[in-house]
Amino acid sequence: MPERIAIKLLSGSDLTFFDTFFKRSNIGNQKAINLNADVFAKQFYPDFAERSLGENVEIPVSVTVFGPRPGKAYKFARSITKKTGYKNWRLNGAAVPDPDNEAGRFDHLQVDDLAVLEFTGDAIPEAVRIIIVSARDDPEFHARLRAEVPGGKKSMIAVSRAHLTELASLESVGPKHPIRALLADPELDELLEQASLGTEPAVRRLREKTGRPLTKSDLATARAKAERIGDDGEALALQLLNHLASEGILPPVTWTAADDAAASWDFETMSGAPIRFDAKATSRKFETPFHLSGAETVAAASTEVPYRIIRLYELTEDGAMARISHDINALAREIIAATSHLPRGILPGGFTVAPSVLTWEEPVRIERPDEPD
């Protein structure tokens, strides 16, 4: 999903967002966190900002606050606003009281504490997650984040999830630290990849893990990433098959899917007894389940032509590991038979397959070739 993460140095006016600070301050009636236009409007939501020129803006958003100490996520509704004629964007609304049964949660906040904000929503902001990092409660991590923010007019900077994770790991924050909600998470990426294909257990687990509804942008981004990995995996699979053909282990192959995007397999041998191959690629470990479409399952089940899976895994810019399965035709027939009793008019669109249900050849490494001079 697109990353829209920022570190915000909190001024006195920003801290009026919290009721405890607003009541003891004497700096006007603002009850909002200022969202610097050079980050929020120009980097995170340029199209939305352009469409909003000359208009009063009030977009309702779901807000979840973590910190400043370990504890429960605090959820409530507010708005992102901008008034005609002003450049200020704000996370606005009534001042935020302490949560029920957590009196004094925000009492220790002070000027120059920090908020790490993540905005979700593609066309417009839909939700904001805020991790409060205070100098009093977390001096070492606060100092590391504070060093990233110039201050003054540059009181808010965009930061990548990878760099935020690096800052947190250097500080060795504990497993219950609030910042964990925003750090890079390989399990989350894997669940998103599976959820983008409609795998129900992954969708359920993802909701539990993120604590928020999935947006169309989340799944569309994950699906686009999976498609890019799939296309890259096919190219590496062709390299592997061509190598096996050059060694006399296989006949030469044709890249069927390159000429026919609707084909139910990716490659087929061009001479001798035919063999069909379908590439399934992931940047994760071999054991990660893969998606077998309904069309692929029928294609493997309805013929005696051997149908094999090429599993490409741990895919990086340098190459990938690969294993070729034994024929899956019998398994495909079992799947078709097991789904033959569905109600009339119901057809399965695909299946999530654990690699452990297949038998595989030994793993091999595929290195990307150097580009010729």
Boundaries of every domain in the chain: 5-184, 220-367
pLDDT at residue 24 in the model: 84
pLDDT at residue 348 in the model: 83
pLDDT at residue 193 in the model: 66
Give the Cα separation of 190 and 217 in Å (integer).
Answer: 16
pLDDT at residue 184 in the model: 66
Give the Cα separation of 234 and 254 in Å (integer).
Answer: 12
Token output for 371: 């580009």
Q: Which residues pair with 65 in a beta bridge?
A: 74, 130
Question: Are residues 181 and 164 in contact, defined by beta-carbon separation less than 8 angstroms?
Answer: no
pLDDT at residue 219 in the model: 64
pLDDT at residue 174 in the model: 79
Answer yes or no: pTM beyond 0.75: no
Q: How far is CA 126 from the centre of its chain?
A: 16
pLDDT, one tens digit per residue, over 102-137 is 999 999 899 999 999 999 988 899 999 999 999 998
Segments in the chain below pLDDT 50: 373
The owner of tokens 């890079």 is 184
What CA–CA distances, in Å, run from 350 to 301, 336, 343, 368? 14, 11, 16, 31
pLDDT at residue 261 in the model: 79
Mind giving me the DSSP string for 242-302?
HHHHHTTSS--EEEHHHH-TT-SSSEEESSSS--EEEEEE-SS-TTS-EEEEHHHHHHHHT
pLDDT at residue 352 in the model: 87
Structural domain 220-367, CATH architecture:
3-Layer(aba) Sandwich (3.40)
Half-sphere exposure of 223 (CA within 13 A, CB side): 11
Question: Are residues 98 and 106 in contact, defined by beta-carbon separation less than 8 angstroms?
Answer: yes
* Coil/strand/helix, residue 175: coil
What CA–CA distances, in Å, run from 233 to 5, 122, 263, 308? 30, 28, 16, 15
